[in-house]
Amino acid sequence: AHPTHPLALLAVDGLLSDEERAIRDTVRAAADRELRPHVAGWFEAGEIPARELARTLGGLGVLGMHLEGYGCAGTSAVAYGLACMELEAVDSGLRSLVSVQGSLAMYAIWKHGSEEQKQRWLPKMAAGEYIGCFGLTEPDAGSDPGAMRTNAKRDGSDWVLNGTKMWITNGSVADVAVVWARTEEGVRGFLVPAGTPGFSAPEIKMKLSLRASVTAELVLEDVRLPADAMLPGARGLSGPLGCLNEARFGIVFGALGAARDCLETAISYARDRTVFARPLASYQLTQQKLADMSVELGKGMLLALHLGRLKDAGELTPEQISVGKLNNVREAIAVARECRTILGANGITLEYPVLRHANNLESVLTYEGTSEVHSLVIGKALTGEQAFR
């Protein structure tokens, strides 16, 4: 019999509008043409042509695609999620570039910036001419960003920033860093242009995950900024945490792209591979694995779409995003690891995408709120008791 694609099992495509399908298909075709052929090489080298990639992604219209105005496409949240899914089907690092650019750096400026800040940065960021990064995490403050030490002090009308940010995606290639710092009036956001004296962004090497993504430290030593470098609209920790909601939403869809790519690879491999004189796909144990994985992929997709529809209706809550991020990343990494078993020894190489995806998903499980953090967010919603501290 002719095999059915795992997502076709639940006829998920029928739940998308024509426009959503068209955007998804365009991103998929471009990703397969321009990104997929190179990604294993980038991962192996631990280097990406970030500037060229940003322009390619800008040309495709996916940078800040769900934002309105300033050169952004203003698509639905679901369309943005589907684009994340197609990019992450190639590599989580490429989706990371897009998430950080569009949902964190651009969103922070779009939501909290002055008109001048928006005009200066957003159109070029949408086009991929400028790259942005988002510095919240510090060496000693990850899950608990309220413990940040980076500070900004007034000196006349200027601000002087000191501190260190850690694990910052796009950091060393960014033209502008959105840096969150403690001030006398609580946490505030600052736009730090690359090249500002006292600011440096050394790249973090020797990663075993997200090797096709730039990760850096941000070092701020008496970085002097004019008064208008501050984002006027963000006050307190709710400023950066509100931005995280946007990127976490993209990951709810994105992680499923990595899982789908693994499952497609494993099904095709199992059909071609002969073991004990029969196709690997013909054994019950293999079919059980494939059935369980496609059930999780389908459920994750329905969850993502439901959250996307809520977001487009303006009703999505942070707790609901936590449900999606927790479930879909947890299931995606389980799928990637199970698919690796189906590929046997071939599964450990970069000839196939599965272990690359599994390793990437280790980062995805940790960044944008670890699984534990999202469990605690859900636990708080269920009980009214916070168990973070």
Give the residues lining the site for ligand FAD (CB under 6 A): 100, 134-137, 142-143, 167-169, 210, 215, 363, 366-367, 370, 372-373, 388
Q: Taken in order 224, 229, 235, 240, is the CA torsion positive or negative? A: negative
CB-nearer residue toward ligand FAD: 75 or 137: 137
Task: Please report, as ranges, the residues that interact with ligand TGC according to CB under 6 A.
Answer: 96, 99-100, 134, 136-137, 143, 145-146, 169, 236-238, 241-242, 244-245, 247, 318, 367-369, 373, 377, 388
H or E stretch covering 186: strand 186-193
Provide the token pair at 292. 């369980």
Provide the token pair at 74. 């203003």
With CB cut-offs between 5 and 8 Å by kind, which of ligand FAD, ligand TGC, none does residue 135 bind?
ligand FAD
Which phi and psi (to 5°) does residue 113 adopt? -85, 165
**Nearest distance, CB of residue 148 and ligand TGC, angstroms:** 10
With CB cut-offs between 5 and 8 Å by kind, which of ligand TGC, ligand FAD, none does residue 146 bind?
ligand TGC
In angstroms, the Cα distances linking 155 to 152, 159, 160, 228 are: 10, 6, 7, 13
CB-nearer residue toward ligand FAD: 183 or 370: 370
Measure the CA–CA gap between 297 and 279, rounded to whole angstroms.
24
**Nearest distance, CB of residue 253 and ligand TGC, angstroms:** 12
Measure the CA–CA gap between 88 and 350, rounded to whole angstroms.
16
CB-nearer residue toward ligand FAD: 136 or 223: 136
Classify residue 150 by its DSSP letter. -
**Considering only CA atoms, which of 346, 339, 334, 317 is closest in space to residue 371?**
334
CB-nearer residue toward ligand FAD: 168 or 305: 168
Exposure on the CB side of residue 175, measured as CA atoms within 13 A = 14
CB-nearer residue toward ligand FAD: 210 or 326: 210
With CB cut-offs between 5 and 8 Å by kind, which of ligand TGC, ligand FAD, none does residue 372 bind?
ligand FAD
Confirm whether 368 is a catalytic residue.
yes
**Nearest distance, CB of residue 138 and ligand TGC, angstroms:** 10
CB-nearer residue toward ligand TGC: 245 or 286: 245
With CB cut-offs between 5 and 8 Å by kind, which of ligand TGC, ligand FAD, none does residue 103 bind?
none
With CB cut-offs between 5 and 8 Å by kind, which of ligand FAD, ligand TGC, none does residue 245 bind?
ligand TGC
Give residue 272's identity as a one-letter amino acid code: D
Burial code (b: 16+ CB inside 10 Å, e: under 16) for 117-156 equals bbebbbbbbbbbebbbbbbbbbeebbeebeebebbbeeee
Bridge partners of residue 132, in order along the sequence: 176
**Which residue is at the shortest CB distance from ligand FAD?**
142
Provide the token pair at 92. 């989580």
Give residue 129's identity as a one-letter amino acid code: E
With CB cut-offs between 5 and 8 Å by kind, which of ligand TGC, ligand FAD, none does residue 241 bind?
ligand TGC
Largest CA distance in the chain: 80
With CB cut-offs between 5 and 8 Å by kind, which of ligand FAD, ligand TGC, none does residue 105 bind?
none
Measure the CA–CA gap between 338 and 333, rounded to whole angstroms.
9
**Nearest distance, CB of residue 388 and ligand FAD, angstroms:** 5
CB 230 within 8 A of CB 188: yes
Which one of the listed residues 217, 368, 372, 385 is annotated catalytic?
Answer: 368
**Nearest distance, CB of residue 327 and ligand FAD, angstroms:** 16
CB-nearer residue toward ligand FAD: 349 or 388: 388
Residues 208/362/194/205 CA torsion (nearest 10 deg): -10
SS3 assignment, position 114:
coil
**Nearest distance, CB of residue 96 and ligand FAD, angstroms:** 7
**Nearest distance, CB of residue 210 and ligand FAD, angstroms:** 4
CB 263 within 8 A of CB 331: no
Which residues are tagged catalytic? 368
